[in-house]
Every structure is written in structure tokens, then in C-alpha cells.
Structure 1
Amino acid sequence: MFKPRFVRPFPSSVPALLIAAILTLGLAPTSTLAAPPTVATSIKPVQALVKMVMGSLGDPELVIPATASPHMFALKPSQATTLEQADVVFWIGPDMETTLIGPLDKMAANARVVELMKTPGLRLIHFDEEAQNDDGHAHGNVDPHIWLAPSNGRKMISYIAEVLSEIDPPNADTYAKNAKKARQRITILSRKTMDYVVQMRYTPYLVQHDGYGYLALEFGMNEVGHIQTTPGREPGAKHVADIIELIKSKNVKCLMHEPQFAPKLAERLKQETGIALREIDPMGIHLSLSDTTYVRIIQGIIVSMEPCLQPRAPKQPAQPAPTQ
């Protein structure tokens, strides 16, 4: 049985019942009234959100494996078949899963394609146009990593439930009940995380690419920059020099890198500056699919960041032994 990773690292001062509430808050029992639609999802976080709404009605299929970058992915025949057989496809949008733009038009022509970037009420981060031109963002003028803000996760849950209810009216009540429980679970996640990071907010850190703004905004974290302007592409010499200067001038102690990308540049920066490296996974590579997967993705990121960002009391110098 899988044991969630977020429970053990929490301080003992956090009530045990509150910790357990996140992971034991189950979805409402369902009674299948009709066969649910065949659902395909682009990336693991989207699959996790859709699973929370579908519950025991079924498992949404995943197109892009969590080990791959959605920016640099070649569709295999089996994944193309998943799109062709789907009744509905959920994805973030063309600024995120760039490799799916063509395949969705050709292979999911008979499916309802739902762009979650269009979810009503999302809290969106808009890139500054001048900075966007300078940094060469691979995305458009809006940051598409919307799932990294749990407040956005709650909004997407509601939107997913609405879409599935329109496509599958006989199971609409089940989708609504599951969505309500999912929003409650994410609310508990947000509250616990806010308490957990209270001592971590002031430590400056770097990330591998500009994809964690929502996490920093949601929880008041002190992200000061990123080392890749285009995900998966090594930056030029000037940008590397600027990053080294940033590390030194702001006394940055930690760089968060991702398993989806080679850590070559991160290792170089470690050698040149002594910065500590921590791997964080926004996709949930090692997580099995369940109604807690989305919660565990956010938990896993925060817990992985904690050893670098949690301030430590300075070591006291050893006292000399008393003379006789």
C-alpha cells in the first residue's frame, strides 16, 4: 500500500488528525448509471485532476508520460491511438503541450478537446512583454504551469466536472459529488502547505526553468530566477554568467532542478558556486494514479524543497574542556 510522503516530514506540532484528513478524505461512493466517456489527458497533473472528478467511474488515459517534457515529445503509435479513441481530451493548452497541437487537430477530430487554460476564474501570471523578449520565453505571454497553484486546481476541478457532466449527464451527480470532495481535499492541502512553508519563505532559490511562478505566488516563496529560458535548452554564456553573478550577489543557496531535464548545467553551477541542488518533480513521475495523486504532486515538491530552504540554527562552536 502506498504511504503518502507528505505526512512524515511535517512538524510534530501539526495535529495528526489534520494531516490524516487530507489523505483519508475519500471520494463519495458512486453508483454507475451509464458507461462513462473515454477520457484522454495530456500530462500527469491533468490526469490527476480528472481522476479526482471521475473517481471510481474510470481512469483517464495519459498521453505524454511524466518522464517526458511536453515541450519536446514525439508521439508514439499507442499514444496516437489514445487520442483517436477518446471522447474527450483534457490538456493545458498550446503554450504548454506544444507537441500536441498538430496531433490533436488530426487524431482527436471526433473528441471534445478541452483547454484548461480557459477555465473560468483562474489566477494567471502574465509575463512582462519586455522581459519576455529579453529572456526568450518558450511559452506565450501567460505562464501555463497553472496546476502548481492549488487555488487553480480547485477551479479546474469544477470546470472538469462541468464538462464531464455535459458529455455524460447520467453520471452528473457523481461528478459533482467527487468534485466537491476534491475541492475540500485541495483546500486542506493549501492550508497545511501554508503552515509548512512559513519558515521557508525568506530563503532565495533558483529553479531550472521559468515554470514555478504559481507555486511561489501561491505560498509566498522567494524564487529569484531560473537557469533556462527555454525548457530543455542550455542558455548562452551571457545568461550563465548572469546566473553566477545572481547566485553570488543574492547569496542563493539552492537550485531546484527537474528529472525531466539533464542536470548538466545545474552540476556546473554547483561546481562553480557551491550552490546546493535539490530535485523537484512537477509531473509526479513515481506516483501511481489515484484520487490523491494531485495532492501528492504538490506535497512532493514542497517536501523536496524543504531541506534547502528551511533555515537552520547556526552550529555552536565547541567549548573547550574545563581545566583542572
Structure 2
Amino acid sequence: MNKLLLTLGVSALSPLTMAKPVIVTSIQPVSMVVAAITGDRAEIEQIVSSTASPHDFALRPSDLRKIAQADTVVWVGESLESFLEKPLENAGKEASSIEWLALDGMSLRDFGEEHHDEHAGHDDHDEHAGHDDHDEHAGHDDHDEHAGHDDHDEHAGHDDHDEHGGHDDHDEHVGHEGHHHDGVDPHVWLSPDNAKVLARAVTKRLASLDADNAKYYQANLAKFEQGLTTQDATIRAALNKVNKVPYIVFHDGYSYFEEHYALNHAGEVTVSPERKPGAKKVAELRHEIEEHKVQCVFSEPQFSPAIVNTLLEGTKVKTARLDPLGSDIKLDMNAYFNFMNSLSDQFLSCLG
């Protein structure tokens, strides 16, 4: 009888002892960096699907439960994911969350900064200064309204997410209270250096949550950093062959990547992807294409390429797709490496 009770007791406790930390992430690029560290020792729950936009997103009740039950929420920051600010506060998760933009060691850029000194003729970027429409991702036209959030006028639907059991807060991340990044370009995942900063913060957090696997997480961090260093050199060598070729992007959301690899950004189709450029802007872009001898205009998979096709009608300028979210990248430990390789290949396909 005693043996039976002991067996039942061990069986009842085993799910608790085997429970994995639950990390809730905001968007796909965040999940990619987190996955490089977690491996199979933690669960990742992503809020915004890889084909949706963080700009006009609305949380569902299941997302709010996910936030409340998470060990840690990892997000880019209020300037990109404003829909998370109130829910994090309401759930008491601000101190235990990791806000990428607020981490020490980050290299941040403001919208409106000149891209590169060596890129001649790029003095017409003043239309970006301080713009607060960081809606680079997502043309999804099926945005149902979702209940359960305060003061958010975002409207985007997304796939269902299962909820996980409750977990206590663990304060490891420097609090992001008071960290306002108005005018800061939030596309920080496009810099391998910034990816390393987040990976270190995630490693520290996981080690505090799951001390038994601390060495595993630290080994994954070392592997990630070494892999990024090697990959960075390979990508740089490839892009150096085309870094004088002028191009236009769909929107000004690639500056971290462009700055890091010294690419020749000549302009963008639109400041905000949800605003179609008018006839005047199209005329200006056509002039820019001729003046700078632009060889490629990039579109994005989240938006219709119609405006790009219209812009290039009658010209011999090439076009290709850039995906700033890596929406087709499988989420595993190599996801961030695969994303950066994919983005590099997308540039090379049109500039080479």
C-alpha cells in the first residue's frame, strides 16, 4: 500500500518537475533568436503569426492568457508592438519581460538617419524623421476584431495559440519602464550584433528560470555567437561584390542590415507600407530610378507588388522580393542563421 501511494505521489509530481519554461515572443524574428538558445528545453509561444503585422495587431483573449501565464515575454518594444504595453502592465509582467530595444549594448538607429556616407545622392530621406508608423510587415486583409485589450486601435487577426500553465515571475531583465523609443527604427533583428545582445539576455533569463539546464543554454549561446561571427564574414564577402549597386526597397525598414553590410540604398517606395504612394511620389521615384541608375526595386511578400509593377512599367529595372520577417523560415535552432542567409540571397538575386 505504501509503495502504491509513493508511486502515485511521484507520478503526480513528475509533470511539475518536468515542466519546461514557457517563453512568449511577439514576432517571428524574436522567436528565431530565442529558439537558438532554448533548443528543446523550453516552449516558445509566438503571439503575432509570421504572416501578420505587429503594427495593426489586436490581442485575443487567448493571447492575454498566454502573457499572464508566461515565464517571460520577449518583445521588440513599444515603438513596434504598442499592443503589448498595457497587457504587460496589467499582467504585472513588465519587470520580468525582455524588451529588446531597452537592453544594454544595443546599437539603435533613428528613422531619418543617413544610410551610408559612401552612398552618393541619398540626401532625400527627411520624410522618415520621427514617423511612428512602423508597419513594415503584413498585408493581411482578414483582420477580425478581438476583445480583451485596452486603448489599442490595432485590427489584425492571427492564428489561435494554445495556452500554457501558470508560472511565477522572475525578475532578471532590466525594467523597460520609461524606455520610450519614439523615432527609433525598431527593425533591430536585421543586425547580427543586436541579435547577440538579445541572445545573451535570453540566456541569462533561462539560466535563472531553469538552473538545471543553465550550462545547456550557455553552450547554445556560445554556439550562436560563434556561428553568427562566421556567417557574418561569409555574407559580408558575398554582398561586398554588389554593395555599389543602387536599389530601392519597398519601405525604409532595412537600415540595420544595409548599414552593417554597407549596401547602396537609393530610396524607398513608401514610408509606411499601408500608404500607397500618389502620382507625385511615383513620378519622383521614376526620376530617382533614372538619376541613380537604380538596378532593382524590391517588393515585400506581405504586400501586393502592384505598385512596384506600376513603377517599373516600361523600364528594364529588375524586381525581387525581400521578406523582413522571414515568414517562410522554419522555427528551430538554426532559424536566425537561415533567415539572414535568405535575406542576403534575396539581395544578391537582384543586385548581382
TMscore range, shorter length: 0.7 to 0.9
Which stretch shifts more, 239-248 or 124-133?
Answer: 124-133
Distance change in 2, residues 1:178/1:47 (3 Å): same
Unaligned 5+ runs, structure 1: 1-32, 311-324
CA distance in 2, matches of 1:39, 1:294: 17
1:200 to partner: Cα distance: 1.1
CA shift digits 1:226-249 (9 cap, x unpaired): 111123222344333322211111
Secondary structure of 2:313's counterpart equals helix
Normalising by structure 1, what TM-score? 0.78
In the alignment, is residue 58 of structure 1 matched against residue 42 of structure 2?
yes
Unaligned 5+ runs, structure 2: 1-16, 114-124, 135-181
1:133 to partner: Cα distance: 6.3
Contact 1:43 1:62 in 2 (8 A): yes
Amino acid in the other structure paired with 1:94: E
Distance change in 2, residues 1:222/1:175 (3 Å): same
In the alignment, is residue 42 of structure 1 matched against residue 26 of structure 2?
yes
Contact 1:87 1:110 in 2 (8 A): no
| CA root-mean-square deviation | 2.4
Aligned to 1:292: 334
Once the two structures are superposed, the pairs formed by residues 1-324 of structure 1 within 5 Å of their partners are 35-106=19-90, 109=93, 112-128=96-112, 131=126, 136-139=131-134, 140-271=182-313, 273-310=315-352
Contact 2:112 2:129 in 1 (8 A): no
1:273 to partner: Cα distance: 4.1
1:258 to partner: Cα distance: 1.2
Distance change in 2, residues 1:292/1:134 (3 Å): closer
1:62 to partner: Cα distance: 0.8
CA distance in 1, matches of 2:295, 2:207: 48
CA distance in 1, matches of 2:199, 2:61: 30
CA distance in 2, matches of 1:172, 1:148: 27
Contact 2:131 2:183 in 1 (8 A): no
CA distance in 2, matches of 1:290, 1:48: 7
Normalising by structure 2, what TM-score? 0.72
Secondary structure of 1:290's counterpart equals coil
CA distance in 1, matches of 2:253, 2:186: 8
Contact 2:79 2:132 in 1 (8 A): no
Secondary structure of 2:74's counterpart equals strand
Contact 1:88 1:111 in 2 (8 A): no
CA distance in 2, matches of 1:135, 1:146: 16
Which stretch shifts more, 235-244 or 195-204?
Answer: 235-244
Secondary structure of 1:57's counterpart equals coil
Aligned to 2:8: none
Distance change in 2, residues 1:108/1:60 (3 Å): farther
CA distance in 2, matches of 1:127, 1:269: 24
Contact 1:137 1:230 in 2 (8 A): no
Q: Which of the two has greater helix per residue?
A: 1
CA shift digits 1:197-255 (9 cap, x unpaired): 12110110111111100111111111111111123222344333322211111111111
How many residues of Structure 1 are paired with residues of Structure 2 in the alignment? Answer: 278
CA shift digits 1:20-60 (9 cap, x unpaired): xxxxxxxxxxxxx9643211000111001011111120231
Aligned to 1:15: none
1:110 to partner: Cα distance: 8.2
Amino acid in the other structure paired with 1:255: V
Identity %: 32
CA distance in 2, matches of 1:77, 1:175: 31
Amino acid in the other structure paired with 1:39: I
1:135 to partner: Cα distance: 7.9
